[in-house]
A and B are shown apart, each in its own frame.
Chain A
Amino acid sequence: MDVIRTQNLTKIYGHRKIALNAVELRVPKGSIFGFLGPNGAGKTTAFRLMLGLQRPTAGRVEILGKRVGPNSSDVRRHVGYLPTNPEFPPDMTPITYLDFVGVLCGLSREARSPRLGSLVRAVGLLGAQSQRIGTFSTGMKTRLGIAASLMNDPSILLWDEPCSGLDPAGRRHTMDLITWLGRTKTIVVSSHILGDIDQVCTHVGVLSDGQLIFSGTMGEMKQRIHVDTLVVELSGGDGVLERFRAASRAIEGLDGLEREGSRFHLRPVPGASLGELVAAVAGSVREAGGDILSLSTGQGRMEDAYLQMLEQDGARGFLRACGDAEGGEANGCVRGTPAS
């Protein structure tokens, strides 16, 4: 079941800027959906349309089967939203603001007080509980935003750049929180930091210039890399490294290799068994008198898949425009095998 669904979602600002173009998005229930895209790709616009903060120029958004509009407070009751660099009433404290959000969400005083207490503690704002929000740093505001989005215990979370302004520890904590919350909630999290998405998401959608160019599971995303590589780092001097280079010419299933210091990037022949290749490489290293310091596969690297998609999308611009009338695949969105 898809909890969020968009149909032909398009947003054009003032006849000047196309922020989103015919986006067909499906977010399956219980997924942690990563919304990827460079700055200005349309991620925040998509969130705002999902919440009814803006009206689509064309198309529609449905959450839990209900169409979303400016007055869809019943839908927003099930959604927790964290904007990028959130703004809060500067004269309020975390406690008064979370209490205010609780009232807006229709929570009773008995439910609000313990909940806001545990949330303030959970996001590490206990020391700043009586401080005015106007004095908060960006990271503190983001943490307060996380708490506010969880105040009504929603079944869907829309988090726009949740790690924005956070220090490494806060970032780590937020990623862990997303994984933990993902056990019981559907989460849509946007980021342009690939590592974050790779780490926690089960599904991913890639936006480029307002177009959804991919939507599918993380596995499907990673499989879209056409050239797999094997990276091996060796110990030993130049002699060992050159002997390995010579020995590797005899390895079956190896299309070529490049040396980068003590590291070799090996390109397997398409379809070659990676296991056999690793075994052969290990033999060649032994033969060269060296040892393996590290071995990694370039297959499935999120960054490669992502950049490859953006490049392809840029290259296919005209074809996409021509295919717009046919929709779906031709429209630019490459869908993986159905995610659910």
Chain B
Amino acid sequence: MGAYVALLHRDLVTIARSWVARGWLVLSALAAAVAVLGQSTQGLPASQVAAQIQLTFLFLWSIFVIVIGASAVAPESGVLADSVLSRPVTRSQYILAKLTARSFAVLVVFVSVAGGSAYATWRYSKLPDVSFADVSLGVVHVLTALLFLVAVSVAMSSVMRTTFVAIVALVLAWYSVGALFEFLNVSFLSPFELRTSLPECLRGELDADLLWKIPLGFGIPTVAVWLATLAYFNYKDL
């Protein structure tokens, strides 16, 4: 447990010091602030503005999520064997610490920006058509999709030796996944489907079955990716 906590702390410090994470936080907060300020002049409903802000995390800021996830293991490949895994540390502790730290970093940035902007939207909107429960539900929907993306990115990072290749592959996969899910007739699993479901969710008008289908649809694959990454990393030669 001590080794896991040490690895987790070390990775969180690394993320906090990285310009990617800092840049993402600043840019997404600025973009959210601009959107919130713009709503008052345009007179948009709060649900629409909050949905727009949250959806940018899926379609624009997802690049940062991919970079944070994909830079978890591959850039450390030399350091990993020499400095970390030759010590009294299990592979499971290492990869779990990476998955947890990267997921936590994404959660912190997203929840703080999306949560803060949702409150500001509701507070200053001329049409405050959102409730705390609906905003929370929307945040959970988008967050599960982002956590799935982090898990896949860390998994790719443990498989591939080159971070850049992992990032390119993930970006291509992320933006083409909608078509695949459409083809497989499970479009509710597609992040693109959230474009229509999220505003409905924030207004409290989402179909009851989608309320649990969306988080489970991303949550179960996330758990599966964590387990697969764990199994693969335990098997891998360093």
Contacts and interface: CB of A to CB of B under 8 A. Distances in A.
Contacts of B237: 53-55
Contacts of B17: 91
A136 interface: no
Given A73-B3, A100-B6, A106-B3, A83 B87 contact: no
B2 interface: yes
A161 to B, nearest CB: 13
Contact of A103 (B3, B14, B238): B3
B88 A105 contact: yes
Contacts of B84: 104
A115 B79 CA distance: 23
A103 B1 CA distance: 11
Interface stretch (B66-74, B89-97, B100-108, B166-174): B89-97
Contact of B83 (A86, A105, A106): A86
A76 B88 contact: yes
Contacts of A81: 86-87
B82 A104 contact: no
A103 B91 contact: no
Say which size band chain A's interface belongs to: 20 to 34
A145 B14 CA distance: 21
B23 interface: no
B89 A73 contact: yes
A228 B238 CA distance: 45
Contacts of A97: 83
B85 interface: yes
Interface in B142-189: none
A103 B6 contact: yes
A190 interface: no
A229 B37 CA distance: 93
A275 interface: no
Given A48-B238, A73-B3, A104 B89 contact: yes
A48 B81 contact: yes
B133 to A, nearest CB: 41
Contacts of A145: 82
Most buried by A among B6, B81, B87, B237: B87
Contact of A106 (B79, B88, B90, B234): B88
Interface of A: 48, 51, 53-55, 70-71, 73-74, 76-77, 81, 83, 86-89, 91, 97, 100-101, 103-106, 145, 148, 152
Given A73-B88, A73-B93, A145-B82, 10 more contacts: A53-B86, A53-B238, A73-B87, A74-B88, A88-B83, A97-B83, A100-B10, A105-B87, A106-B3, A106-B88
